[in-house]
Amino acid sequence: MTNNIYPKKRRKMADIVAPVRVRSRINIHSEIKNIKPEVKKEKIEKIGKIDEEFKKLDKKIEEFEQQEKKRFKEEEKKKRNPFKKIKFKKIKIKTYLSWIITFIVLAGIFYSVIEFLPKANIKIVTKKFDWNYIDSIIAGKEFIEINFIEKQIPAEVFSFNKNYNFSFMATGRKMVEEKAEGKITIYNIHSSDSQVLIANTRFKSPDGKIFRLKEKVIVPGAKIIEGKIIPSSVDAVVVADEPGPEYNIGPVNKFSIPGFEDSPKYEDFYAVSQQTMSGGFIGEKTYATKDDIIKAKEEAQKGFENHIKSFASFEIPSEFKIIEGASQFTILKEEINEEINEKEEFTVFLEGKFISICFRESDLKTLLEELAWNDLENDLKIKTYELEYGIGRADFDNGQISFAIDFNGVFEKPIDIEYFEQKVLNKNEEELKEIISLMPNIQKTTISFWPFWVKRVPENIKKVNIDID
């Protein structure tokens, strides 16, 4: 059997050789030179005819070469893709692809119909009642539960104590003379008797500088153990006798007491300083003026109140309502430190207390619903409302506050949505209307099915959309 796809032996371009010309074309000019004049004309005609034949032969050879090249190119292509001729297989693949795509589309449509269809939309408009209330309510920490008759609700009292230091710039400048001061330790090795030293008692440094006691002190008596005197001591604050920086001296090994000079106590009572004396100064210095202090106190109190209120707002649980008049801020302690620091500032220290009487707005709404039942129907619930509070009148000692309210609300009787969902499943429109007619709290109902050929509520609750307004 002949194999048309893979021939046993194929020719190559190299096997095809154009016919070899036996002779080259005649050169007309060289031939004419060798012929006789009488036959010149006849020869020229014959040579012209021969030349024409050669031209035709050359053209045929060129055409043959072009045809062979074209044929060999086609054979090379067939060699690379031997199945190109089998067109019926390509047609079948396209058909299979069409069938697969069609199947996928139909399966998607079928899934969409099962998953998303059918559906039912039921929109319910409930009966609503408007109700207004303008009156006073009392909230107190001693009320355990809501009292509808007395119009009372429970309250809680929140209390916070805080302190804070505020710094303010000093603007005054003045000439000052300030004395150095520091701490000394006074020793007694004289006897077991104590010694009283009055305020302003002088202590003298080795270089002759005098410092005086700020307050009276009692130096305890020395202890005598096994015949040996053990010194006793007491700490005290001294102030330089004169102002100026020259009294800012370093630690001193021994201060003497000039008042005991020429007595045995002069050697037995002495003082030692472990720290440098400081504060001695003469010159211009910044200070806090009276206006600085007044302004600082006002700003500190205002800032402190805002600070403690902000702190309380984070500490009080969010379900509690704080109305105007329900809070109290009290300054418990105020100290002005006029000493100027390196930034030329003085400080105001404040300690204060913040108290707030709070109630749950949910308790107030429950009270208002109960009050509305007396005028409307039982079991009504607030759907929407507007509520304005008056300024509270608080009794912080007893933890109680009364306040006026202006309430405007819309009430409705709630629908048991789970019960309603179970009742409407697989019901047609007429059956739905009959169910709805037995529910007095429904004012209007709109029912729609999708797509148009659906006539019943689906059995799957996920395909039922119930919207209550």
Tell me if 294 is assigned to some domain.
yes
Instruction: Identify whether residues 204 and 167 lie together within a single domain.
Output: no
Asked whether residue 298 falls in the same domain as residue 279, the answer is no
| Measured distance CA(469)–CA(464) in Å, rounded | 16
In a domain, 75, yes or no: yes
Within this chain, do residues 277 and 303 fall inside the same structural domain, yes or no? no
Residues 237 and 162 in one domain: no
0.85 cut: is pTM over it?
no
pLDDT at res. 17: 47
Q: What is the pLDDT tens value at each position of the chain, 469 positions in all?
A: 444 444 444 444 444 444 444 444 444 444 444 545 554 556 556 666 666 766 777 677 777 777 777 776 776 666 665 544 444 444 567 676 777 777 776 666 655 555 556 787 888 888 888 999 999 999 999 999 999 999 999 999 999 999 999 999 999 999 999 999 999 999 999 888 999 999 999 999 999 999 999 999 999 999 888 878 889 999 999 999 999 999 999 999 999 999 999 998 999 999 999 999 999 999 999 999 999 999 999 999 999 999 999 999 999 999 999 999 999 999 999 999 998 898 999 999 999 999 999 999 999 999 999 999 888 888 888 888 999 999 999 999 999 999 999 999 998 888 777 777 787 777 787 887 787 777 777 777 777 777 777 777 777 777 778 777 7
CATH number at residue 200: 2.40.30
242 and 302 within one domain: no
Nearest alpha-carbon partner for 363 in 139, 133, 158, 142: 139
User: How many helices and strands in the chain, by DSSP H and E?
Assistant: 8, 24
Name the β-bridge partners of 191: none
Q: Is the same domain home to 220 and 348?
A: no
Question: Residues 189, 247: one domain?
Answer: yes
Same-domain status, 276 and 194 = yes
- Residues 172 and 289: their CA atoms lie apart, in Å, by 6
Q: How many domains does the chain have?
A: 3
Tokens standing for residue 108: 């998607």
Whole-number pLDDT of residue 311:
93
Judge whether 205 and 263 are in contact, CB under 8 Å: no
- Among 356, 382, 399, give the residue marking a domain's end: 356
pLDDT in tens, 372-409: 988 888 888 888 899 999 999 999 999 999 999 999 99
CB atoms near residue 85 (< 10 Å): 10
- Evaluate whether 263 touches 212 at the Cβ level (below 8 Å): no
Last residue of a domain, one of 64, 80, 96: 80
Task: Look at residue 427 in the predicted model and tell me its pLDDT.
Answer: 79
Residues 38 and 167 in one domain: no
Distance CA 83, CA 75 (A): 13
> Per the domain annotation, does 365 fall within a domain?
no
Beta-strand runs (E) in 170-280: 172-178, 181-188, 195-197, 202-204, 210-213, 217-219, 223-225, 228-230, 232-240, 252-255, 269-273
User: Does residue 128 sit within a domain?
Assistant: no
Largest CA distance in the chain: 184
- Cα angle, residue 71 at apex, residues 4 and 17 outer, rounded to 5°: 115
- The reply to whether 432 falls in a domain is no
Instruction: Please identify, among 80, 96, 120, the residue that sits at the C-terminal boundary of a domain.
Output: 80
Looking at the domain assignment, is residue 86 inside a domain? no
Give the type of residue at 296. Answer: A
Residue at 26 is within a domain: yes
- Is residue 325 in a domain? yes
Q: Are residues 164 and 217 in the same domain?
A: no
Same domain, 270 and 321: no
Give residue 277's domain range: 174-285
* Rounded alpha-carbon distances, angstroms, from residue 186 to 269, 274, 277: 7, 12, 16
Domain match, 268 and 331 both: no
